[in-house]
């Protein structure tokens, strides 16, 4: 860790944040949003998301400065504020969300390539899974060569994938039609979308998905050259990506009617641009998405390994996950992560899981880690810890962290019971790893409160397993 080769500067940290957030989500955003909400509700939803995510970004920025000794933010904040099991659960949930996201990226990548090669279908055919597996292990061995080398490649791909997005925005802004955008502005025609509140609620998990990665610099804070760069990278990345997301979404609604957008095949940005400039527009977006997903896969592979590695070094995960190779890469954590990605790629063949179903599940898994991080920020501001003589700053942080906590609670509600139960099914097996880590230290596995929390998770997991077995729940 002390070797300067592993230290990341502000551009690399910012690229990690932007590269993590801009994956496949933005390229499918027009269809994903139009399928559940009309333009008016979409604007309301983006306003809620912008405020909530900005407050969450401020929490990460503040905590990175006030608690510089806490590396790998999402995990460390939960542990510092609420105990070992909550810290473990945040690390576990974040890790599962990250590698599930990678599975969804592989599905979307080869679904996109299906535009050129029909054998890839929707990204879950045997040919697609086979090629995805080859790419998975190619990325795996690239990361094994070194964190800094992988981060440099991520910077290059981040620049490459932003360029077609900017071109899309410029072209669609020139072709934007206000009459198309305002037609059935609140989605009342036909009554299929429900009330405005229903529409906003239904689009929430999609908006969170496209912002996952906002904590990327915080997760890799131990490798930052300067701690202050972690907060700067988080805010810079958030503002830039927010602008891109809103513009891509809103401008698309002025090119094609909402009903048409909602029925497009993903990546839906491709047919939107094709509508304006012809076939080359679809090709451009498809190529841009391939580059984007390659970079996002690299970013998330780094984050997956890092969260397990840091938790193992802190004795919250089993010690074998803290092993590094000669290039300071957390190799054991990387092998476990990509082994599970490979397993779930196989599952897509059996369950025909689509990009959208995988991204919603991945999003639901990260809501708990986000909640605990926001709650820790609120705890510090409320208690005044680290705020001696800083009353105005304390008041600001108290407000921003309180809003972030409320936003996290709203997201859990918006996700619905189905995803709460499915998340429980994925959280419950983590107790095996937690128990192993605790026994390695000769410590009691659960406190009384932690045992009660785990019991609730276990009940939810059993209910989810029953629901999947009986067909009441679907992946």
| pLDDT tens per residue, range 206-224 | 888 787 767 665 656 666 7
Does 134 or 14 have the greater pLDDT score?
Answer: 134
| Per-residue pLDDT band at 6 (split at 50, 70, 90) | low
Residue 426 counted as domain residue: no
Residue 433 counted as domain residue: no
Q: What share of the chain is helix, strand, coil (3-state, %, to 5)?
A: 80, 0, 20
pLDDT at 342: 94
pLDDT at 4: 43
Q: What is the mean pLDDT of residues 146-168?
A: 71
pLDDT at 5: 42
Residue 475 counted as domain residue: no
First to last CA, the chain: 39
Domain region containing 307: 4-417
Does 280 or 225 have the greater pLDDT score?
Answer: 280
Does 272 or 13 have the greater pLDDT score?
Answer: 272
Q: What DSSP element (H or E) covers 257?
A: none
Kindly state the tokens that stand for 213.
Answer: 């990665």
- Residue 111's alpha-carbon distances to 128, 274, 405, in angstroms, are 8, 18, 36
Q: What is the mean pLDDT of residues 412-429?
A: 89
Residue 63 counted as domain residue: yes
Residue 446 counted as domain residue: no
Question: Distance between CA 370 and CA 409 in Å, rounded?
Answer: 10
| Per-residue pLDDT band at 3 (split at 50, 70, 90) | very low
Does 388 or 69 have the greater pLDDT score?
Answer: 388
Q: Which residue has the tokens 């791909």?
A: 157
Q: What is the mean pLDDT of residues 163-188?
A: 93
| Per-residue pLDDT band at 51 (split at 50, 70, 90) | very high
| Per-residue pLDDT band at 266 (split at 50, 70, 90) | confident
pLDDT at 71: 64
Kindly state the tokens that stand for 156.
Answer: 């290059």
What angle is formed at CA 243 by the lines to CA 371 and CA 251, rounded to 5 degrees? 120
pLDDT at 223: 66
Taking a C-beta distance cutoff of 8 angstroms, is the pair 108, 24 a contact? yes
| Per-residue pLDDT band at 273 (split at 50, 70, 90) | very high
Kindly state the tokens that stand for 265.
Answer: 């095949």
pLDDT at 2: 41
Residue 346 counted as domain residue: yes
| Per-residue pLDDT band at 145 (split at 50, 70, 90) | confident
The DSSP code for 213 is: T
Question: Distance between CA 160 and CA 302 in Å, rounded?
Answer: 19
Question: Distance between CA 151 and CA 234 in Å, rounded?
Answer: 16
From 335, 267, 263, select the one nearest 105 (Cα to Cα). 267
Task: Specify the number of domains making up the chain.
Answer: 1
Residue 431 counted as domain residue: no
In terms of average pLDDT, the best of 64-78, 181-195, 354-368 is 181-195
pLDDT at 147: 56
Q: What is the CATH number of the domain that holds 309?
A: 1.20.1740.10
pLDDT at 412: 87
Q: Mutual orientation of helices 84-113 and 73-82 as an angle, nearest 10°?
A: 160
Residue 62 counted as domain residue: yes
Number of alpha helices (DSSP H) and beta strands (DSSP E) in the chain: 20, 0
pLDDT at 219: 58
pLDDT at 381: 94
Contacting residues for 42 by C-beta, under 8 A, at least 6 apart: 33, 34, 199, 203, 249, 250, 253
């Amino acid at each position: 860790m002390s070797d300067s080769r592993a230290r990341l500067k502000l551009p690399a940290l910012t690229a990690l944040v932007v590269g993590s957030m801009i994956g496949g989500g933005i390229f499918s955003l027009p269809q994903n949003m139009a399928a559940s909400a009309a333009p008016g509700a979409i604007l309301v939803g983006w306003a809620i998301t912008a405020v909530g995510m900005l407050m969450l970004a401020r929490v990460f920025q503040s905590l990175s400065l006030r608690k510089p000794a806490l590396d790998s933010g999402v995990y460390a904040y939960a542990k510092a504020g609420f105990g070992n099991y909550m810290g473990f659960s945040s690390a576990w949930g974040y890790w599962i969300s990250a590698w599930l996201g990678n599975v969804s990226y592989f599905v979307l990548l080869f679904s996109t390539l299906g535009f050129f090669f029909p054998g890839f279908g929707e990204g879950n055919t045997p040919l697609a899974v086979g090629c995805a597996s080859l790419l998975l292990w190619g990325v795996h061995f690239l990361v094994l060569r070194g964190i800094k080398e992988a981060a440099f490649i991520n910077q290059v791909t981040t620049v490459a994938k932003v360029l077609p997005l900017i071109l899309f925005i410029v072209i669609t802004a020139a072709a934007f039609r206000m009459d198309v955008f305002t037609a059935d502005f609140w989605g009342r025609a036909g009554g299929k979308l429900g009330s405005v509140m229903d529409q906003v609620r239904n689009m929430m998990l999609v908006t969170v998905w496209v912002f996952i990665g906002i904590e990327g610099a915080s997760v890799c804070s131990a490798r930052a050259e300067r701690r202050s760069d972690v907060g700067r990278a988080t805010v810079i990345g958030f503002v830039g990506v927010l602008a891109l997301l809103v513009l891509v979404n809103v401008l698309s609604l002025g090119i094609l009617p909402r009903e048409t957008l909602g029925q497009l095949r993903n990546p839906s940005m491709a047919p939107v641009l094709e509508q304006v400039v012809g076939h080359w527009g679809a090709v451009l977006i498809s190529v841009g998405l391939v580059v984007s997903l390659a970079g996002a896969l690299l970013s998330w592979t780094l984050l997956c390994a890092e969260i397990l590695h840091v938790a193992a070094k802190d004795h919250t995960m089993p010690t074998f996950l803290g092993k590094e190779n000669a290039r300071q890469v957390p190799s054991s954590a990387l092998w476990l992560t990509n082994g599970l990605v490979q397993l779930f790629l196989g599952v897509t063949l059996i369950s025909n899981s689509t990009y959208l179903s995988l991204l919603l599940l991945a999003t639901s898994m990260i809501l708990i880690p986000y909640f605990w991080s926001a709650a820790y920020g609120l705890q510090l501001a409320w208690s005044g810890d680290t705020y001696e003589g800083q009353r105005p700053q304390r008041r600001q942080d108290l407000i921003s962290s309180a809003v972030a906590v409320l936003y996290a609670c709203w997201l859990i509600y918006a996700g619905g019971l189905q995803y709460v139960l499915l998340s429980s099914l994925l959280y419950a097996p983590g107790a095996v790893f937690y128990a192993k880590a605790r026994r390695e230290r000769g410590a009691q596995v659960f406190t009384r409160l932690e045992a009660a929390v785990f019991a609730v998770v276990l009940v939810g997991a059993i209910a989810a397993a029953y629901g999947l077995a009986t067909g009441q729940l679907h992946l």
